[in-house]
Structure 1
Amino acid sequence: MTDEARTILVTGATGGIGTAVCHQLAARDETKLKTLSNELTGVGHVWLQLDMTNDQSIRQFGEELAARRITLDGVVLMPPQAHSTNDPMPGADAWRALFQNCFIGPLEVLKAAIDRMNPEPVNGRRAKIVIISGISSAQVLGHYATSNVLRCAWIGEAKTLAFALGARGIHVNTLSLGGTLSPWYREGIEKRADAAGITFDQRLAEETANVPLGKYGEPAEVAVAVEGLLSHFSDHMTGLNIMHDGGFTRSY
């Protein structure tokens, strides 16, 4: 997506969070938003197909970025998420698939994107990377047994990249989400409400009783936070894992 002279890559752009991010970044050009499902050429919003779990797709994606001579000023990386599970020790094959699909593949996408960055910090042009994660990166959650591990891997990688790329003017920060009312998350609440024989609002109130702000986040709120991390707001910020959870996380 292009905002004035800045070009931002948003992965997972058709998902609940990704769509909100795209709307926020392109808010000054509503006519272009109507072409969300179409691939455009030239200046504007360009949509490229990518399967982060498929090596060939990732290679083709990197080649397409180079062929189009796209120079990126920022990346919003939303790696595929592991399904919730209470099993802390899945089999070796399950772990291999999880790391390939949720870490190694997305990291290859990020590497391809970094290759297309050309920041000039002395001239005030910096590149920003925002990795979308979850609060189990900071606080263990029993029903996210495998995600606890994968998200910590991303935190380690983000911190490592922040140190490695800082001198080039490339910033790497992580935004870790708590409960967020994306379409699929709303559907889950509705199902739990139906099973309990109560209304959606009653179930939502029960689930957010332990959140200091008393609510879950909205995709639009996530988008505003992402926009800030891509902006001059973060010019002296890198290597951070920022909680977007209404105060739920208890760790310092």
Structure 2
Amino acid sequence: MANETRTILVTGATGGIGTAVCRQLAHSGHSLVLAARNEAKLESLSHELAGTGDRPVWLPLDMTSDQSIRQFGEQLTSRDIVLDGVVLMPPQAHSTNDPMPTGEAWRALFQNCFIGPLEVLKTAIGRMNPDPVNGRRAKIVIISGISSAQVLGHYATSNVLRCAWIGEAKTLAFALGARGIHVNTLSLGGTLSPWYREAIETRAAAAGVTFEQRLAEETANVPLGKYGEPEEVAIAVEGLLSRFSDHMSGLNIMHDGGFTRSY
């Protein structure tokens, strides 16, 4: 879905899904601002993507660190970067069956997975200058998970945190809509990122079956009979950043092969 050149910030750019998103957007001609913790990986990805167009800007960012977030914002300002879009991938809580962790654990989770990333988003919004009267809109895509729409027992804390993001996205959609800033969430089901593939391989080895057999077992309750690929996520993200979403805001879109049963 190629458009006019737009400048898009991608957080978590060096992860399996983030890298796929960056490759897709670069291939479509967008200018990118890459953000992640590992500077060596950021520089390497920037070199790779330079082969498809302009070399992306890369900025180190640790969303769990207030100092890193402040420095990131200062870099955006000093470089006079104006953003047309943001792909925000907040850090995710580890799976847990404990619905009532300690207060200290909750404070850390909300700081790392919600408060810090929200500060990053606020900083990014401050670098946006949409002009809806003349057809120039800014798009925000927040990556979430399917427990934003239905409770999963082994994602007890994520159930809460992801719902917090859905509520925040809906609130921002109302608050920012008149400025021409759209805010949508994309909630992923099982996605075959490198770390998730490794987890399936580990489970397959423990069960004495092949990767393909284990994958077939795990996706038997998914209507499409498969998990998503990072490249498929990237295409969906690009769509939400494009004119496709010019009359869409405040939506939580499921990317789960039909797994979610709720209306």
The answer to whether the superposition gives a TM-score over 0.5 is yes
**Residue in 2 that maps onto 1:126:** 137
Q: Percent identity?
A: 85
CA–CA separation in structure 2 for the residues paired with 1:39 and 1:121:
34
Aligned to 1:36: 45
- The 2-side partners of 1:58 and 1:52 are apart by 6
Partner of 2:159: 148
Note the 1:94-105 alignment, pairs <5 A: 94-105=105-116
> What is the match of residue 27 of structure 1?
27
Runs of 4+ in 1 over 6 A off after TM superposition: none
Pairing of 1:1-252 with structure 2 (within 5 A): 5-28=5-28, 36-37=45-46, 44-252=55-263
* Matches of 2:227 and 2:48, distance apart in 1: 33
> CA shift at 1:39, angstroms?
11
> Which AA in structure 2 matches 1:183?
P
For residues 222 and 244 of structure 2, what CA distance do their matches in structure 1 show? Answer: 27
Secondary structure of the residue aligned to 1:48 is strand
For structure 1, the 5+ residue unaligned runs are none
Q: What SS is found at the alignment partner of 2:158?
A: helix
Residues 239, 70 of structure 1: CA spacing in aligned structure 2 closer, same or farther, 3 A cutoff? Answer: same
Amino acid at match of 1:10: V
Aligned-residue offset at 1:27: 1.1
Q: In structure 2, what is the Cα distance between the partners aligned to 1:104 and 1:192? A: 33
Give 1:103's aligned amino acid: F
Give the whole-Å Cα distance in 1 for the aligned partners of 2:261 and 2:86: 29
Normalising by the residue count of structure 2, what TM-score does the alignment of the two structures yield? 0.90
- Give the CA RMSD over aligned residues: 2.0
User: How many equivalent residue pairs?
Assistant: 247
Counterpart-to-counterpart distance in 2, 1:208 and 1:14: 27
The 2-side partners of 1:73 and 1:5 are apart by 9
Give how far 1:44 is off.
3.5
Residues 65, 116 of structure 2: 8 Å contact kept? yes
Are residues 178 and 146 of structure 1, via their aligned partners in 2, closer, same or farther at CA, if it must alter by over 3 Å?
same
Instruction: Provide the secondary structure at the position in 1 that maps to 2:199.
Output: helix
TM-score (norm 1): 0.94
Conserved in 1, the CA contact under 8 Å of 2:61 and 2:69? yes
